Copies of this chain bind each other. A is one copy, B any other.
Amino acid sequence: MAGPVLDFWFDFASTYSYLAAMRIGLLGEQAAVRVRFRPFLLGPIFKAQDWITSPFNLYPAKGRHMWRDLERQCAELALSFRRPDPFPQNSLLAARVALVGLDQAWGKDFCLAVFRSEFGKGRSIESRAAIGDVLAELSIDAAPALEAARSDAIKTRLRAQTDEAQRLGLFGAPSFTTTDGELFWGNDRLEQALRWQKRIANGE
């Protein structure tokens, strides 16, 4: 596909991925940079660092700040925010269904709807019923999407995507990678990543 492309790596369990997902559509348009959605799983990457859960749970002071920071950021962005319980949510099913959707027309809408349900409304995203509700809201036929998400092809794709994330040096989400191999970590780097990708695409 022509024009600059930025890869947007996210895990549906990640709080700051919610903020990035809500912002990236408009910012990408303004920068004239196409954004490719790359759902992956942080779990295996955290395990490689000997973290058995989110660092926000492992380090309570860091976790307290993150929740308050998220409230303040959402207030400034006029985004609703409600903390899901438990945190982090198991994001495996959502990621598999997202891969199904990203091969079709509804992938990005589904990703945004999952994030809104989880962090805007505080709902669980773990079960087939919960993901089915999200699909229904978007008028997508849930049964074939959920069925495709269980296929070996999709399971393999998600593992490959997570392996690729690790190979690219990702250690958290959201992250952004450019076509010249730069890695930007965190919602706070979204604007800079878009500027970078645009500049290299323009041959500057």
Q: Which residues of A contact B (CB under 8 A)?
A: 49, 59, 61-62, 64-65, 68-69, 72, 76, 169-172, 182-186, 188-189, 192, 196
Contacts and interface: CB of A to CB of B under 8 A. Distances in A.
Contact of A59 (B49, B62, B189): B49
A184 B72 CA distance: 10
Nearest to A169: B61
Contacts of A76: 192
A65 B171 contact: yes
24 contacts: A49-B59, A49-B61, A59-B171, A61-B169, A61-B170, A61-B171, A62-B171, A62-B172, A64-B169, A65-B169, A65-B171, A65-B183, A65-B185, A68-B182, A68-B183, A69-B184, A69-B185, A69-B189, A72-B182, A72-B192, A72-B196, A76-B192, A186-B188, A188-B188
The 7 closest A-B pairs by CB, nearest first: A61-B171, A188-B188, A62-B171, A65-B185, A61-B169, A49-B59, A65-B183
Contacts of A69: 184-185, 189
Contacts of A172: 62
A196 to B, nearest CB: 8
A185 B64 CA distance: 11
Contacts of A68: 182-183
Nearest to A175: B65
